[in-house]
Every structure is written in structure tokens, then in C-alpha cells.
Amino acid sequence: MSSIPHGGQLVNLLASSEEARELTREAETLKKLTLGLRDYSDVEMLGIGAFSPLTGFMKRDDYESSRSHMRLMNGLPWGIPITLSVDKGEVSEGERVALHAPDGSLAAVFDAEEIFAYDKKQEAREVFKTEEEAHPGVAALYAQKELLAGGSLKLVTPPRHGSFPGYRLTPTQTRAAFDERGWKTIVGFQTRNPVHRAHEYLLKCALEIVDGLLLHPLVGETKSDDIPADTRMKCYEVLLADYFPSERVLLSVMPAAMRYGGPREAILHCIIRKNYGCTHFIVGRDHAGVGNYYGTYEAQEIFNNFSAEDIGITLLKFEHSFWCNRCEGMASTKSCPHGPEDRVSLSGTKVREMLANGQRPPREFSRPEVADVLIEATRRVVSDQ
């Protein structure tokens, strides 16, 4: 049986066919607000219930409570505020507006129930633990408009994506897939990077104790130097084809934008996977981190602020894993007594250099099939420059 959604009920903001027709006609008379990629991702996540129990962009009380106390006003844990920024005079309090996708198509109708000011630097400090614009999450926050608009929305048109159509499952659909497969316990894994041997080790350890795995890569907006989603998806496909039992893994994409919020984003990612039906969630080393802004295991330690009943999903907290030449296999600091000189550990910079030169990282670091996908993608990038 899948997990109970956050707040007890899975939100569905998708308009029925009749509602959609009526709202589409009404939208022609409404003020038009065109969304950026991040806001559009948030509208999709709200609409399909991935952000349950939210029924729209946060109003002031939930915004301030989640920002400063990591909880909604009703007491439910929440890691990062979900907000819509607007310019002064762009939207009036009490006004209904049409939200359009970046391509200009109608996405949703939004009731701006509250317009309020906010302190960007305070949000940066409390959510991202830094005011430095070098942090990509902070940079995105500083680029927002000067006011926030909170209120409910109705998703008029399900997002139309040209990429990964077979993998875009909503929380309702993943839950149905789990039930169809007879999975009672499901572990979710968040990734914005290709899965290397250390990740594979964590996933297989988790599969020893649950019925199934939801491999759930984030495919919303990421940093420009992150590996593109289409390349990552090819890596997942070749890895699953050769190294995992197909009947125990479901690959599906998660359309949220990456915020690089480290510990606070780990909370959000955990809640999202709970809404998708996962009963367990892997929180690894430096989850959703960037640079040196967060401690190695801070994303795990932040959950000490909540009880198991608060979170409502079992956390699997793994330490740093690696290949040990003396153990002749994957291990972690919990299971391996040997020193760094026996461990295969490569920096991201070193791996990128090897890929750019057409060199496979050692098998102990990356499966050769995955490395081949990355080498080919790197060659294409270099040839296009």
C-alpha cells in the first residue's frame, strides 16, 4: 500500500473537460501573466498534487511559517516556500488572472487572494543559509519580482512536454502502478546526476528491504553546467537494462525545478516522493547541495527536527559509499575499515576531464555503458562549441 499523501489527501487541481472549456473562455477576458520555467514547473507540481496539501501558491502565513519554521501553518513539515512573484501593480489582490506557459499557451487560472511584500535576504538566510548570489538558489530568489501573490489555482491544460512522454507519471499514476505491481513498500530516489556506482550501491541496498524502487530524476530547470536531462535519462535506461531487475524498478521523471537548497530541499523532496506514493526515501550525502554551503550530512540531520509521524515516510540515511580495492567491492565507512588510499574516489572535475578526452572513468566508479553515454554526450557538446 502506498504512503498516505502529505496532509492526508492527494490534491488534484486539474480542471475537468467542462471546467477547462469554461476557464479557457474566461481566460480570454483575464489579465495574462506569462510564467518563467521555474514557476511553470511549480504550477505543474501543484496541479498534479505533487505539492499536496498545497492548493496554490503560498499566502503570507504559510510562506512565513515555512520559511522560518519549516512548517505550514497547520503544523505539517515543509522545506521550501512555493511562491509566485509579481511586480507592483501587475496583479491586484482579489483579481483572477490567466497563467500562461513560457510558450504562450494557457496553463492555469489563478485567484490572487493576497499580495504581500517579502524580504529576499531573510529568505536567502533562512532557506539557503547564505546571502551570497553565487549560490544558484539565492541568485534565482534575487531575480524574482518584488511582491508575492498567494492564492488558489486550477490547472486548465495539462503540461504538454515533448521530452520523456512515457515517463511523465503523476502521483496518481505512480500510485496506480505500485498497486498494479503489488508493491507494499516503495523507496524513492532523487537525482539530478547520472547514477554512478556509489548511487547504484545505495539503490541495491534499499531494494533488499523494500518491494520496489521509484527512480525519480528531476527534469525541471537546473544549472547550466548540470548534465542535461536527456543525457541523464539515457544513462538511467542503460543502467536499468543491464543491472536491475525490471520488475522491481519504475523509472519516472519529476518535473520540479532544482533549487539547490541542500537540507531544506531534502525535506521538500521527501514530501514530494511521499505524495508520489513512496513509503521510504533515500537521503544521501549532501542531498541537493551545491558548492560548500552545507555540511556533509546536514541534509540528514535536519530531519531530527521532525518526528516519524510528522514526516510520514521512512528515511534511509546512507553514508558516503565507494569502491574499496581491498574489500574488492562497494562499501561505506560503516562497513569498510580501510583508508582513503584503498578507495576509488574521483572528483567531478576529474570525471568531466576524462569524459571530454573520450576516456572512460574506471569500472569501479562508473558502469561502462553509462560512461559511453556520457562520453558521446560530451563529444557532441564539444563539437557544437
Report the first-to-last Cα separation within the chain, whole angstroms: 50
The H or E element that residue 107 is part of is strand 106-111
From the list 67, 71, 175, 192, the catalytic residue is: 192
pLDDT value at residue 265 = 97
pLDDT value at residue 286 = 85
From the list 60, 193, 305, 352, the catalytic residue is: 193
- Asked whether residue 4 is assigned to any structural domain, the reply reads no
pLDDT value at residue 300 = 96
In angstroms, rounded to a whole number, what is the distance separating the alpha carbons of residues 170 and 9?
Answer: 15
The count of other CB atoms within 10 Å of the CB of residue 182 is 8
Ranges of the chain with pLDDT below 70: 1, 162, 347-349, 381-385
In angstroms, rounded to a whole number, what is the distance separating the alpha carbons of residues 137 and 281?
Answer: 23
Contacts of 140 (CB under 8 A, 6+ apart): 38, 259
Same domain for 298 and 254: yes
In angstroms, rounded to a whole number, what is the distance separating the alpha carbons of residues 288 and 290?
Answer: 7
**Last residue of one domain, picked from the residues 132, 155, 178:** 155
Q: Which of 161, 150, 183, 128 is nearest to 48 (CA)?
A: 161
Q: How many domains, in total, are found in the chain?
A: 2
Place of cell 513560457: 102
Residue 383 CB-density burial (10 A; 0-12 exposed, 13-18 middle, 19+ buried): exposed
Same domain for 181 and 117: no
**Last residue of one domain, picked from the residues 100, 131, 155:** 155
Residue-number span of the structural domain to which 65 is assigned: 17-155
Same domain for 320 and 203: yes
- Asked whether residue 189 is assigned to any structural domain, the reply reads yes
In angstroms, rounded to a whole number, what is the distance separating the alpha carbons of residues 69 and 35?
Answer: 28
**Last residue of one domain, picked from the residues 130, 155, 180:** 155
pTM: 0.95
Same domain for 378 and 293: yes
In angstroms, rounded to a whole number, what is the distance separating the alpha carbons of residues 144 and 5?
Answer: 30
Type of residue numbered 6: H
> What is the DSSP-derived secondary structure letter of residue 158?
-
- Asked whether residue 6 is assigned to any structural domain, the reply reads no
Same domain for 180 and 102: no
φ/ψ of residue 335, rounded to 5: -120, -10
Same domain for 192 and 149: no
Same domain for 183 and 111: no
| Residues 197-218: tens digit of each pLDDT | 999 999 999 999 999 999 999 9
User: Nearest 10 degrees: CA dihedral of 112, 114, 118, 120?
Assistant: -20
Q: Which three cell numbers stand for residue 215?
A: 527512480
| Residues 11-64: tens digit of each pLDDT | 999 999 999 999 999 999 999 999 999 999 999 999 999 999 999 999 999 999
- Asked whether residue 3 is assigned to any structural domain, the reply reads no
Same domain for 332 and 185: yes
The CATH number covering residue 49 comes to 3.10.400.10
Q: Which of 343, 226, 207, 275 is nearest to 45 (CA)?
A: 275
pLDDT value at residue 157 = 87
Same domain for 146 and 51: yes
The SS3 of residue 216 is strand
Active site residue 192: yes
The H or E element that residue 322 is part of is strand 321-324
- Asked whether residue 12 is assigned to any structural domain, the reply reads no
The SS3 of residue 16 is coil
Packed helices 368-384 and 348-356: angle between N→C axes, nearest 10 degrees: 70
Place of cell 525490471: 246
